[in-house]
Amino acid sequence: MKILDFDQENEYITKVNNLNKNKELNYHILTMGCMLNENDSEKLSGMIEKMGYKKVDEPKEANLIVFNTCCVRENAEEKLFGKLGELKNYKNETGAIIAIGGCMMQEKHILEKLHKSYPYADIIFGTHTINKFPEDLYNAILNRKKITDIEYIDGDIYEKMPIKREDKYRASVTIMYGCNNFCTYCIVPYVRGRERSRRAEDIIKEVQELANQGYKEITLLGQNVNSYNDGNGNKFSDLLKEIDKIEGIERIRFISPHPKDFTDDVIDAIKQSNKICKILHLPIQSGSTEVLKKMNRKYTKEQYLNLVKKIKEQIPDVLFSTDIIVGFPGETEKNFQDTLDVVKEVKFEQIFMFIYSRRTRNSSRYNGKSNTRRCKTRKIQQIKRTC
């Protein structure tokens, strides 16, 4: 992995801008998925607006239509294909450029379907080639050819990428990319690669610039933020302490930590700070030790509850939110009761509930028969009543 400046891509931004000179061009971007995808879309918007496009809310008013996709749940695929179908006639009538990027493009079966059923898509790019979007767009416009730009190795980290923030007071800052955990229900390590951390000085510089621009709230992003390590001795707790010192920033949030990596130094950094928000997102996924083992989460029900207890002892006013997956393959009623027990004990402020969705490359399909849709829906309702 290399850390590179985006400057070398600026020549293609200039080239596209020259191609678009004296034209009134619009773009539309549809973002699916998590806050990391939203942050990527802000970077795409930053590049696109530098190339002479203005953002519009409706895809059928745009000359450039970008889909930033997610592949965590199956309905994201259905949404993408449905939207592409709706745009076929518009594409034929106007010649609008359609670009599709994000996690879903790292899936080979998705690429095969796009090439076969939606050949009118102009640009397909992956999670590791977002920095090359200006070059891909330039080639698509100039040469009128279809571009597929996918890499299956862990990408480099690009600093100084243009970014168009969606909010004037709150901003998200990605501190690391990828994941090493390989939870059996999750496809992220396969589509975003292994963990790569940005340099602490680059992150601190970005937050300082945001503070200078009047931003008040910062959310630090990563698949597993508390395993952050920039290779220069800076851990997540060190990063929190340095950002806490930046004048102008009033609130600091982070998402998502992993319970197995929630160390004492991070707890202490939160305790000592007046800026770090005292509502912590601590994904449990299941309250059953048996299911957690099948999920490859590397902690037990008891270890999770002990961590919650430790944090509450150090930070008495802390609140927790969490993620819960229902209907994991092989989940029994006893397993689910363990989850309800945790919900009752922790008294979560907010719960994000998900019905298990089988994906092509996640390995949990080998761990037992999945619950019926009706059973999964019932479990969701039971959690809601327990909250």
Query: For residue range 323-345, what is the model confidence (pLDDT) as tens digits?
Result: 999 999 999 999 999 999 999 99
Residue 241 is assigned to a structural domain of this protein: yes
What's at 112, amino acid-wise? E
Are residues 209 and 129 part of one domain?
no
Are residues 191 and 89 part of one domain?
no
Are residues 143 and 180 part of one domain?
no
Q: What is the pTM of this model?
A: 0.93
Report the Cα–Cα distance between both ends of the chain, in Å, rounded. 44
Number of domains the chain is built from? 2
Residue 300 class from Cβ within 10 Å (0-12 exposed, 13-18 middle, 19+ buried)? middle
Are residues 201 and 174 part of one domain?
yes
Are residues 246 and 105 part of one domain?
no
Residue 158 is assigned to a structural domain of this protein: no
Are residues 271 and 225 part of one domain?
yes
Q: Which two tokens stand for residue 323?
A: 């993620």
pLDDT tens per residue across span 3-60: 767 777 789 999 999 999 999 999 999 999 889 999 999 999 999 999 999 999 999 9
Are residues 8 and 134 part of one domain?
yes
Q: Kindly report the backbone phi and psi dihedral angles of residue 65, in degrees, each rounded to the nearest multiple of 5, phi listed first.
A: -120, 125
Are residues 223 and 125 part of one domain?
no
Residues 60-69 have a mean pLDDT of 98
Are residues 177 and 104 part of one domain?
no
CB 26 within 8 A of CB 52: no
pLDDT in the model for residue 366: 46
Boundary (domain end) residue, out of 93, 127, 149: 149
Are residues 197 and 123 part of one domain?
no
CB neighbours of residue 92 within 10 Å: 10
- In percent, the amount of the chain with pLDDT more than 70 equals 96
Boundary (domain end) residue, out of 100, 124, 149: 149
Which residue segment(s) compose the domain that 79 sits in? 3-149
Share the mean pLDDT of the chain.
Answer: 93
Residue 298 class from Cβ within 10 Å (0-12 exposed, 13-18 middle, 19+ buried)? middle
